[in-house]
Chains A and B, each alone.
Chain A
Amino acid sequence: MAKLISFSLVAIVPPPFKAEYIVGIAEDDHGKRIPIRIDREHLDILKIGLTGTLEKKQTDLGEFTYFLPKIEKSSENKVALITGSTRGIGKAIAIELAKKGYDIALNDLELPDEGKEIIKTIDEMGRASIFVKANVADYNEVEKMINEILTKFKRIDVLVNNAGINIDKLVINMSPQDWQRVIDVNLTGVFNCTKAVIPNMIKIGGGKIINMSSQGALNGPVGQANYAASKGGIVSFTKVIAREYAQYKILCNAIAPGCIETRMTDSMPPGMLRERVSEIPLGRRGKPKEVAELVTFLADQSDYITGQLILINAGEYI
């Protein structure tokens, strides 16, 4: 059994290293001292004298000996928070992630009957869930929400910033309040939730943030200046977060769905919907489940995509 002699979290790192890391000195079974690395997720439990094992790992930057502290296996399950998740795409994402074994934190302004069904569905899958009522546009409410989720689950591995609204008008008819309301929910809401979860993601050694942008961020949809600006802002925000927190193994991507079967497209006049579908090469609206499967891929199976905007639109915008 190896013993930890000393350690330090190195915050200012020299090239070629990019990310903060923990170094230390360990004593092996024969009493020989060697320099070691320790995975950042163990930071909170480190203390001089801790016992563990040593393991050599080959990396692109050379071979490192890691000290693996002897700890009780955590029974904590992975947890995903999906904002605006009581219906539509958010609901589909919650169900797909639950299928993948995540415990689910649901959020919305209220819990409609449809939302109560999701809780039941998740429960039937054998996964835990929590619904937290919060307005993502209000940072205090978001902070309370994150604390409530952490109290129950101790961790948040995945954040899907899905909550969004639209108030469609030509700019000439759009009031400053119409503009601000959409920006507050769609863009500031993404900032609020991201800011609030990052400390926990750093603590647990990484995470995935997936932001719901829109095809409207790219193609200048008439009548959606506020919505398109908020969704375009999300793309830029995503790129910054990807760069700032890559060092903590937090990956951040944005998704731009095209025409999906949601309340927003259901409410289009039939003629307009028909005209729009005719411009989609695959000739149909997408299903929330199809968007949810992309989110699930990014959340659960991808460790080498970050800072990207991924379009899911059946070729409508190429």
Chain B
Amino acid sequence: MDDIGIVSYGHTKYGILSENTADLLNNVISDCLKNVDKGISPKNIGMVIVSCADNQFSNQAQTGALALRYLENYDAEAFRVEAACASGSMATYLARKMLAAEYVDNVLVVGFEKMSRLSTETATSVLIRGGSPEENQMGITQPAAYAMMAQMYMNKFGATEEDFAAVSVKNHVNALRNPWAQFHRKIGIEDVKNSRLIASPIRLLHCSPISDGAAAILLSRKPKQFTDTPVYIKGMGLAHDTLGVFERDDPTSVVSSRKAASKAYKEADTNPKDIDAAEIHDAFTPIELMIYEDLGFAEKGKGINLIREGKVNFDGDLPINVSGGLKGKGHPIGATGIGMMVEMYLQLRGEADERQLSNLNSVLLENHGGTGATSIVTILER
């Protein structure tokens, strides 16, 4: 599997977009085909895996077949996968397995979501489906589930409102350098603390937004055929946990991400110390601190030190979410995991323009669904 690499990408702007679902798919697939350094015929793409979290957002089923329309190759096989917010990485995970099995040579992975069709309240009721049936019945929304985790993290480890706000502030600063980001607005700690309450202690400016957007990557088991500078997927771990936060022994940790990271490090034969930068699933910014710990970047309860000491800033030792993260860049659910791949593909190829990091060898992506019932951690290298 060491040879499987990313050879191209497509990425729309994230935000409240005028494009509909079909436009988003069309644009991102066209761009992905155009961006192949050495070119590719659609006939050489034997499979498309589409990621979208919920049809109620897109108002479209059979999105796999719809993607084939824009690929202009109805001989390819097409699937759609769903794992809530982890859908994008799930699609990539499956594509990699298909390539490893030598079922096909090249797979196009496409993710999208068209969330702005729905009101905030309706979107909340769609997103609650990512939790357990018991949480759903009780009205435990996704922000409420994360809020309960944050409440416990504050109680157990002394994290403060300021720590949570600092993550939002950092990710908004990073988003200023990303032309695809939904927000190009600098915010301060007080802005976050004074923003509208969503589910205590989570406020509006801790939350990733409702977004439209799409992203695509082309994976190949013979990447050098298409580019001299592919980005290799060196390790990828998939792990699960309970859907409900109430079912967990320790809700201050995303156990699935911890396990997925362990698998990814093992496969890539690396460790947290050798990771140069990471994109983390900051759907609600308090979770970013807990994930630092689950990925091994900090000891349990010490994640707060990374944000307090600025180590995870753009110019820190371990830049995290230089794209702006879900908070600043946006979170079109089905696209998110693939958008993370695109960000690190560009970073490793030195094509990230204003937000380009230096001295990158090994980078990590963490993308989880719901509050962590599914988590996928990916390690990329040049």
Chain A interfacial positions (CB closer than 8 Å to B)? 5-15, 17, 21, 23-25, 33-37, 48, 62, 64
Contacts and interface: CB of A to CB of B under 8 A. Distances in A.
A11 B200 contact: yes
A14 B246 contact: no
Nearest to B128: A14
A63 to B, nearest CB: 8
The main secondary structure of chain A at its interface with chain B is strand
A18 to B, nearest CB: 10
B199 A10 contact: yes
Given A25-B245, A35-B134, A35-B246, A10 B139 contact: yes
A17 B140 CA distance: 11
B139 A21 contact: yes
Contacts of A7: 148, 151
Contacts of B199: 8-12
A294 B144 CA distance: 42
A37 B288 CA distance: 27
B196 interface: yes
B139 A34 contact: no
A303 B157 CA distance: 44
Contacts of B244: 35
Contact of B197 (A5, A6, A11, A62): A11
Given A21-B139, A35-B138, A35-B246, A6 B122 contact: no
Given A8-B144, A12-B124, A23-B138, 11 more contacts: A5-B152, A5-B251, A8-B147, A8-B201, A11-B199, A12-B120, A12-B141, A13-B121, A14-B128, A23-B139, A36-B138
Given A23-B140, A33-B246, A14 B151 contact: no
A33 to B, nearest CB: 5
Interface string B131-174: 00011011111011001110110010000000000000000000
Interface in B198-234: 198-202
B125 interface: yes
A8 B199 CA distance: 6
Contacts of B135: 35
Given A8-B147, A12-B143, A37 B138 contact: yes
A189 B122 CA distance: 38
Contacts of B251: 5-6, 25
B354 interface: no
Given A8-B200, A24-B148, A25-B245, A14 B155 contact: no
Interface of B: 120-122, 124-125, 128, 134-135, 137-141, 143-144, 147-149, 151-152, 155, 196-202, 244-247, 251
B137 A62 contact: yes
Contacts of A62: 137
A30 B248 CA distance: 15
Contact of A14 (B124, B148, B197): B124
A15 B144 contact: no
Contacts of B120: 12
B148 A33 contact: no
A25 B200 contact: no
A57 to B, nearest CB: 12
Contacts of A23: 138-140, 144, 148
B141 A14 contact: yes
Contact of B148 (A17, A25, A37): A25
Given A6-B251, A23-B144, A35-B246, A11 B151 contact: no
B152 A9 contact: no
Given A14-B139, A23-B140, A8 B121 contact: no
Contacts of A36: 138
A15 B121 contact: yes
Contacts of B245: 6, 25
10 contacts: A6-B148, A11-B196, A12-B141, A14-B122, A14-B141, A15-B121, A34-B134, A35-B140, A35-B246, A37-B139
A5 B153 CA distance: 11
A309 B147 CA distance: 41
A33 B124 contact: no
Contacts of A17: 139
Question: Which residue, of A11, A15, A17, A37, has the highest number of chain B Cβ atoms within 10 A?
Answer: A11
Contacts of A6: 148-149, 151-152, 245, 251
Centre residue among A23, A36, A48 by max chain B CB count within 10 A = A23
Contact of A12 (B138, B155, B198, B246): B198
A9 B151 CA distance: 11
Contacts of B141: 10, 12-14
Nearest to A21: B139
Select the residue from A13, A24, A25, A37 with max chain B CB neighbours within 10 A.
Answer: A25
Contacts of A48: 151-152, 155
Nearest to B201: A8
Contacts of B197: 9, 11
B377 to A, nearest CB: 26
Contacts of A10: 139-141, 143-144, 199
A34 B246 contact: yes
Contacts of A8: 144, 147-148, 151, 199-202
A117 to B, nearest CB: 47
A313 to B, nearest CB: 41
B241 to A, nearest CB: 14
Nearest to B148: A6
List the 7 shortest-distance A-B pairs measured between CB atoms, nearest first.
A14-B125, A8-B147, A6-B148, A14-B124, A9-B200, A25-B246, A11-B197
A34 B128 CA distance: 17
A13 to B, nearest CB: 7
A21 B144 CA distance: 11
Contacts of B140: 10, 23, 35
